[in-house]
Structure 1
Amino acid sequence: MTADIGAARIRMSPVMAALGAWVLSMIALPIARWVFGDSVIPAMTTVSALFQVSAVLIALRTTWSTARVAAVFAVVAILTFGAEWLGSTTGIPFGDYAYTDGLQPQIAGVPLLIPFAWMMMLGPSWAVAQRVTASLPAGFLRGAAFAGVSGAAMAAWDLYLDPQMVAWGFWRWAEPVGYFGVPWVNFAGWFIVAALVTAIVRPLPVAAPPLLVIYAVVWIFQAIGMAAFWGLGGPALFGFAAMGLLLALGIRGGGRL
C-alpha cells in the first residue's frame, strides 16, 4: 500500500508542477496587461494555453502510454484544425466567422494555437463525461452518452471563450447576434465537433482527478477574470452556471475519484 501511494505521488508530481505553472500564467495575464497594455494579450494567451495543454497531456499520461497520448493528440489536432478551417471558410458548422491576425502563426487562416486549445479542454471534458456516464452499462449507449456529455462540457466552456476571444479581437463574426454577439449555431457546432472527435478517438479511461481539477480551475478563473478584469459579466455568469452544472454532475457521478 505504501509503495502504491509513493508511486502515485511520483506520477502526480509532474501534473502538479504543470498545473502550478498554468495557474501562475493565468494570474499573470491581467497583471501583464495592466503593466504593458493590450499588446501582451496574444502572447500571454498563447503561453497560458500551452501550459494548460501540457498539464492535460501529462495528466493523460498517468493512465495512458506515451504513444497513446501522442496519437490521440495528433488525431485531435488534425480533426479540430480541419473543423476550424472548414468553419472559417464555409461557415459550417460554427457559423460565418473569420480569424484576425491577432494569434500567430497561422496556416490557411487558422491559428496553430487553436488545436491546442481544443485539446486543453477536451481532456477535462472527457473526465467530466467519464464520471457522469460511469453508471451506464458498457456498450453503444454509454459510448454515445460519453460523447454527448463531452460535447456539452466543451460547449459550456465556449459560453466563456467565444465572447472573450471576440472582445480581444482574435476572431470576428459576420453577424454578431445571439449570445453576446455570438450566433447560437456556434454552440451547436462546438457540441457536434467535440462529440464527433470524442467518438473517433474513444479516450476512455482517463485520469479523472487531475482533469476534473483543470475543469474546475477554468470554471472559477474564467468567471472571476471575465467579470472582474475584462468587463464581461454576462458571459461570466452563464459560463459559470453551465460549467458548474457539468462539473457538479461529474463530481457526483459514479465510482471513486
Structure 2
Amino acid sequence: MTGRLPWVLLGGLVLVQISYPLTGGGARAVVTVVTVALGFATSVSHALLTRGARTAALLVAVTAGGGFAVEALGVATTLPFGEYAYSGELGPRVAGVPVVVPLAWTWMAWPAWLAAVRVVRSRPARVALATVGLAAWDLFLDPQMVAAGYWTWADPHPALPGVPDVPIGNYLGWLAVALVMMLLLGVADRTGTRRGDTPMYALYLWTYVASILAHAVFLELPGTGSALWGALGMGLLAAPLAWSLREAPP
C-alpha cells in the first residue's frame, strides 16, 4: 500500500479539484485548502517513499519553509511580488500569511523538479527548466485565486494582456523564488530519474491540462488570457515531459 500512496493521494486531489467549479463562497475556500493539503501530501509522501526521510525533510524545509519566509517578507515589504494582502478566507494566518499557502510551493516544486530531471540531463538545464516549470504555474494560480477573493493587489499594473488583476512583477518574483528553490533542490536530490517518479509526472501533467480547461471553460475570470498564458508557460516543461513519456518511464 505504501508504494501506492502517492497515487491514492493524487486520485483524491483530482476528485477534489473537479469539484472546485461546482462550489462557491465558503465551500470553495474549503475545497481550495483541501486541494493544497492533498497536493502537499502527494509530493512529500512521494519524496519520502522514493528518496527517503532526509530528502523529504529538505523538500519541506526548502519549499514550505522557504515559501512561508518569502510570503511573509512579501506581505510585510512588497518584495519580491509587489504589494498584496491575503483575505481571511483561507484559514488561520501567521505574519499575514495563511498557513496553507506555503504548502502550495511544496506541492508543485517537487513534480516540477522531477519533470525537469527526466527531460534534460545537465544540472544547470534542469534547474532552469524546473524554475520555469514552477513559476509558470502562477500564470494559472494567481488569476484564479485573486478572482476567488483570496488575495488582492494594491496596484495590478502593468499586467499581462487578458489578465488584468495580477501585476507582471509578481511573475518575475515567482521566477526569482523558484530559481532559489530549484538550486537548493538540486543539491538535496542527486538521485536522478527513478521508475517510481511516474506519479509526479502525472501530477504535473494533470495540473497543466486541468488548469487550461478550467480557465478556458469553467471559471468565470475577469480576463480571457490566463488559459493561454498558462498553457504557453507551463507548456515549456509539460510538452517535453509528455513527449518523453512516449517511452516507458525508466
TM-score between both structures, scaled by the size of structure 1: 0.85
Residues 1:129 and 2:116 are matched in the alignment: yes
Equivalent position SS for 1:79? helix
Residue 241 of structure 1: which of 218, 225, 232 is its match?
232
Residues 1:150 and 2:130 are matched in the alignment: yes
In the TM superposition, what is the alpha-carbon distance from 1:252 to its structure 2 partner? 4.1
Residue 201 of structure 2: which of 212, 226, 231 is its match?
212
Counterpart-to-counterpart distance in 2, 1:190 and 1:183: 12
Alignment correspondent of 1:92: 79
* Percent identity (aligned): 34
Counterpart-to-counterpart distance in 1, 2:239 and 2:120: 13
C-alpha spacing 1:216/1:83, structure 2 compared with 1 (3 Å) = same
Gaps of 5+ in 1: 1-9, 137-141
Residues 1:46 and 2:26 are matched in the alignment: no
Counterpart-to-counterpart distance in 2, 1:217 and 1:209: 12
Counterpart-to-counterpart distance in 1, 2:3 and 2:51: 13
Compare 46-55 and 69-78 and name the one that shifted more.
Answer: 69-78
**Alignment of structure 1 residues 113-192 onto 2, 5 Å:** 113-134=100-121, 136=122, 142=123, 144-177=124-157, 178-179=159-160, 180=163, 181-192=165-176
Alignment correspondent of 2:182: 198
Query: Which of 1 and 2 has greater Rg?
Result: 1
Counterpart-to-counterpart distance in 2, 1:46 and 1:227: 23
Gaps of 5+ in 2: none
Counterpart-to-counterpart distance in 1, 2:216 and 2:120: 32
CA deviations 1:104-145 (Å, max 9, x no partner) are: 1110101111110000000111012212322x3xxxxx2x33
Alignment correspondent of 2:48: 61
Q: May I ask how many residue pairs the two structures share in their alignment?
A: 237
Contact 2:132–2:234 under 8 Å retained in 1: no
AA aligned to 2:152 is: R
C-alpha spacing 1:165/1:19, structure 2 compared with 1 (3 Å) = same
Counterpart-to-counterpart distance in 1, 2:11 and 2:67: 27
In the TM superposition, what is the alpha-carbon distance from 1:24 to its structure 2 partner? 0.8
Residue 25 of structure 1: which of 16, 24, 29 is its match?
16
Residue 221 of structure 1: which of 210, 224, 230 is its match?
210
| Structure 1 vs Structure 2 CA RMSD | 2.0
